[in-house]
Structures are given as structure tokens and as C-alpha cells.
Amino acid sequence: MSEAPKISLCMIVKNEEECLHKCLESVKNLVDEMIIVDTGSTDKTVEIGKSFGAVVHSYEWQDNFAEARNFGLEKATGDWILWMDADEEMNQEDSMKLKELLRGKEDSLFYIHLINYIGDEINEDDAFHIAHSRLFRNGIGFRFHFPIHETLNVEEVLPNLTEDLHIQILPVRIYHYGYMNECTGRKNKFERNIQLLMKELEKEDHSPWIEYHLASEFSRIQEHEKTFKFVNLSIIGFLENHMMPPSLLYKLKYSTLISIGSAEGAWPGIEKAIEIYPDYVDLHLYKGIIQYLKKDYKRALMTFDHCLELGESNIRHLTLRGSGSFHAWYYKGLCYEGLGQVEEAMAAYRMALAMAENHAPAKEALEKLSMKTEVSHTLNSK
């Protein structure tokens, strides 16, 4: 039997005393070494890292996340590198089986199931799921690029990788808390990120990912016009570079149009996006919502049924929890209401609540409809 591979945890941190302990605790029995690059902490971050046996390297911040991460990679001695952020935590049960999953593997890169929580509190039904390149073989040329929202140079190291040759997703979950309202407010991420992204935007040869990340930042603070502007520029940038725009660009584009109530502006463009990514349930959900807003209830019902058929297990796309389950049932309820089919609407809302008992819109819609039905029965009995 082959030896268990050695895993190095690589992180960059700054003033993470509130969350670093939980992160390191989740992987302390998995990794063989912890390499932490500290970019200027003034709290107990360094002390916490060292208490877990981590080797902490001081690093002068250069407004470049990729360079800081690459500095850490150079210090790692493991066969495999696992990279994480301090506001993340690996599922404990999954971490216990990861080494066995890696034993004897000839692959160079693996995806891990990243769960991004949003909102005010941790809620399994309020999260985005995606497969993310978090585990890669050391010493074969993997590096990070882009000063902000740094990304692995997968295409350079694995040039023969195609859509037909998928990177394997390991059954390992990492929970990310950094997009929750408390974290984003506390760290003033928006101002920092916008400043760095605008600096990158000035470069003639910048990646179209920069416009996408700008769109994402503006989306988080609900500046929809700027979101729409930059996501469109990103799509154009990918096309001009003879590259297929990634699916999450279309997700952001059409969710923005829905947010500003522009169903007409989103139709029929979303059909073209679905032609490119027919297996992306979120796009189908948005199509159904657009049809609902256009009061095309019967076609919308068929679209939401397709969402339920697709489900939401395909995390190769950034997938909103509920797109293939309770969100689809909730919108089916709205469509039935639009058609005047009260019993069917109530049944749909109950299905949504059976899948997500705290789904407020379905709960409110059901209560409102139940009350309306009760009043109607009372008046008819008189």
C-alpha cells in the first residue's frame, strides 16, 4: 500500500484572531504542516497560529494577494497543498477521510465543495455552493495570479484540460463565512477590493475577470447599474479573447436584471445563456422568474418543473441552495396564485416549507393565502 501523502496547509492572514482558531482546529489532524503568511497583524493572529504549531512568516504587504500566497507556496514541503482562508472551516468528518482519498491518486488538482454562507446568520438554506480548486500537487508549477481574487494558473500547468476531462470533485466540504453581513461590514472589504480592482482595470492587458469581480462587489452593496455595466464588460472581454464567458457571469447578469425588475430586458437573452449552459439550474430558475414577472404563468410552471428535475447537485456552477428545490416550489406557488388555482398554490408553498421550514417568503405567502381562503369561506357560509 502506498504511503499517505503529506499535506501542507498554506494561508495568508491579517488580524484574524476572531476566526483563525476555528479554521486551524478543523484541519489540525489532517495537515502535516501549516504555513501561515502574516501580512501585518496587530492582534493575536500570529500567537494563535503558533499555538497550532504553524510556521508563521512575516510578509510586507504589496497590495497583491497572489504574491503573498506564492510566498507561502515556496515554503511548503508537502506532496499536496491545501489552501484556505482564515474565515473558513473544513467539515471535521470530511477532513478525517481526505488523506485516504488522496492515497495513490495520480491527479494534479482536485476541487473541494465550497459552501459560501450569506446573510445575517449561518443558515444551510442561505448559501451558494461551488466546486473550488483548493487542493493541488506541490512542485509542478502551480502559482497564483491576479493581485486580487487570486486564481490558480490551471490552464498553464494543465494545458490539455478540457470540458470533457473534468477535474474531480472530492467529497470534502469547506464552509466560508467571509461573505456574511457581519464579516463584510467588519473588514470593510468593499473599499479595499474596489481600490485594488480599479488599479488592475487601468492595465491594458487586464483579465476580463477584473470586470466580473467589480460587478460582484457592486452587487453586494446593491448598486445594480454598476453591476450590470461591469458584468456586461466582462462578458464582452471574454468573447474578445476568444474565451467562453464562465457561467457565473450570466448568473450575475440575469439576477441583476431581475433585481431591478427588468423582465423585458432579460428576455429572451436568458435563452441564449441557457443554450450555452443547459445544465445550470440557477439560469433555469431565473428564466422561470422572468416568465412569472411577464405573467406567462403556464410556461413558468414548466420551467420550474425543469428546475426540480435538474436538482442542485451540479456544483461545477455557482449554485444557490434551493434553486432546484424550495425556491422552485415557492415560485410555482406564485404562478398558481396568478392562475387563480388556490389549492395548488397552497400545496406548492407547503412543499417549499417541507424542504426549507424557515423559508420566509413561502411561509408568508401560505399564511396570507390561508387567511384569505378562511375569510372567503366565512363569507360564503353566511
The CATH number given to whatever domain includes residue 132 is 3.90.550.10
- Whether this model's pTM surpasses 0.85: yes
Mean pLDDT of 150-174: 86
Would 198 be classed as within a structural domain?
no
Instruction: Summarize pLDDT for 1-54 with one digit per residue, the tens.
Output: 567 899 999 999 999 999 999 999 999 999 999 999 999 999 999 999 999 999
| pLDDT interval class at 253 (50, 70, 90) | very high
Residue-range definition of the domain harbouring residue 83: 7-182
Residue 163 pLDDT greater than 70, yes or no: no
Residue 379 pLDDT greater than 60, yes or no: no
- Mean pLDDT is lowest, of 20-29, 71-80, 101-110, 328-337, for 101-110
* Contact residues for 203 (Cβ-Cβ < 8 A; gap 6+): none
Name the β-bridge partners of 67. Answer: none
Would 151 be classed as within a structural domain?
yes
Number of domains in the chain: 1
Would 325 be classed as within a structural domain?
no
pLDDT of residue 373: 79
* Contact residues for 280 (Cβ-Cβ < 8 A; gap 6+): 247, 250, 251, 274, 314, 317, 319
Give me the helices (H) in 9-114, please: 20-27, 45-51, 65-73, 92-102
Would 127 be classed as within a structural domain?
yes
Would 46 be classed as within a structural domain?
yes
The C-alpha R_g of the chain, in whole angstroms, comes to 23
Would 86 be classed as within a structural domain?
yes
| pLDDT interval class at 104 (50, 70, 90) | confident
Mean pLDDT of 204-209: 94
Would 60 be classed as within a structural domain?
yes
Specify burial of residue 211 (Cβ count, 10 A radius: 0-12, 13-18, 19+).
buried
Would 341 be classed as within a structural domain?
no
DSSP 8-state assignment for residue 168: P
